[in-house]
Amino acid sequence: KKQAAIIKEENFSVLRNTDEESTIGNAMNFPYLTGISERVVAPLYATVPATIIRGNKAESFSIEGRNLRFSFTTKQTQDVPVLRDCSIRIPCGQFWMLLGPNGCGKSTLLKILAGLLTPTSGTVNVNGPKSFVFQNPDHQVVLPTVDADVAFGLGKIDLTHNEVRSRVSRALHAVGLSDYMKRSVQTLSGGQKQRVAIAGALAEACKVLLLDELTTFLDETDQVGVIKAVRNSVDTSAEVTALWVTHRLEELEYADGAIYMEDGKVVMQGDAASIRSFIEARQSAYINQINS
C-alpha cells in the first residue's frame, strides 16, 4: 500500500508515487528536480527504529546514521570529501543539537538524514515521518493565514473539519502561537514564521524534526521563541524527536544531548553539558596556542 504526502520545500518540487523506502513528512526526498518552488509529494512511511540492547535495557533511536560518507566531484574530476565515516544515534523523544565550525559538514549530514542528499556510502534509519525546516521560513510558510498554512498538509488525510481544527489548534499551542490562528502570515516576524513551519509538521504528526540553523538571522527575542517552541514540542509528546543544527553554544542549555563535528567527522556525542565543556576546552586550547 502506498500513501502520498504533500509537503513543502525550498526551490524544488517533485511529484512521485513511491513506497516505503523513503520516509518523509513535511520535508522531502527528491530524485527528480523540476526547479519549481512549490509543494513536494513523498510517502509517509517509517522505517523500523534501531534498538540497542545494553544489559536488560533496550534503548530505541529515532535517528541513526551509520558510517556515512559524502563527497562531490569538481569540474576537474577531483573527489572532495565532505563527510568522513560519520555515525550518530539520537534517542526517541529527545531534543539534540549538532554543532561544529563552519564547513564541517553539519548541514550536509542533516540533509542526508532528511533524504535531500544521498550518501556516498553508509546507512540512514529514521523512525517515523520527518520534517525538514529551513533557515528561511518564507520558503515554507506560503499560505495567507496561520491556520491555513498549518492545515495545508492535512488535506491528504481523511479528516473531518473539526479534526483538522483540533490538530491545528494543538500544534499552534505546542509552539506558543495559540492566539495567532487567524493572523496574516505577512504580519509575522521571522521567528514566528519558523514556529508556524514547525506547527505544520506537528499537525501532520511528524515524529522527527530536522532543523537547520533556524536562529541564524533572527533577533534575540525570536531566537528564544523558536528554540523554546521546539523544546516544548518535544516535551509535550514523547514521540517527537528533534535534531537542531547550530553554532551557538548558549543554545545547548535547551538540549538533552549534542553532537560535535570537525572536518567532516563526528568528534564527540553525548549529554549537552559534556559537549559544551568539551567545545569550550577545545576553544580555550586553540586561543592559548595562537597566543603563545
Task: Report d(CA 270, CA 279) in Å as an integer.
Answer: 12
Cα diameter, the chain: 68
Q: Is the dihedral of CA 95, 136, 64, 125 positive or negative?
A: positive
Give the pTM.
0.76
What residues make up the domain containing 225?
90-291
- DSSP SS3 for 155: helix
Residue 2 confidence (pLDDT): 32
Classify residue 74: in a domain, yes or no: no
- DSSP SS3 for 264: coil
Classify residue 39: in a domain, yes or no: no
Residue 157 confidence (pLDDT): 84
Instruction: Using alpha carbons, select from 210, 179, 19, 27 the residue that is nearest to residue 110.
Output: 210
Classify residue 37: in a domain, yes or no: no
Classify residue 66: in a domain, yes or no: no
Decide: 175 and 202 in contact? Cβ < 8 Å: yes
The number of distinct structural domains making up the chain is: 1
Classify residue 185: in a domain, yes or no: yes
CB atoms within 10 A of CB 54: 7
Q: What is the CA radius of gyration of the chain?
A: 19
Q: Over the chain (292 residues), what is each successive 10-residue block's mean pLDDT?
A: 34 29 30 27 31 45 97 87 96 97 95 96 94 87 94 88 94 94 94 93 93 89 92 91 95 97 96 95 88 82
Decide: 98 and 243 in contact? Cβ < 8 Å: yes
Classify residue 53: in a domain, yes or no: no
- Which residues sit opposite 68 in a β-bridge? 86
- Grid coordinates representing 251 are 543554545
Residues with Cβ < 8 Å from 147, sequence gap 6 or more? 168, 172, 181, 182
Classify residue 258: in a domain, yes or no: yes
- Grid coordinates representing 97 are 543539537
CATH value at residue 129: 3.40.50.300
Classify residue 281: in a domain, yes or no: yes
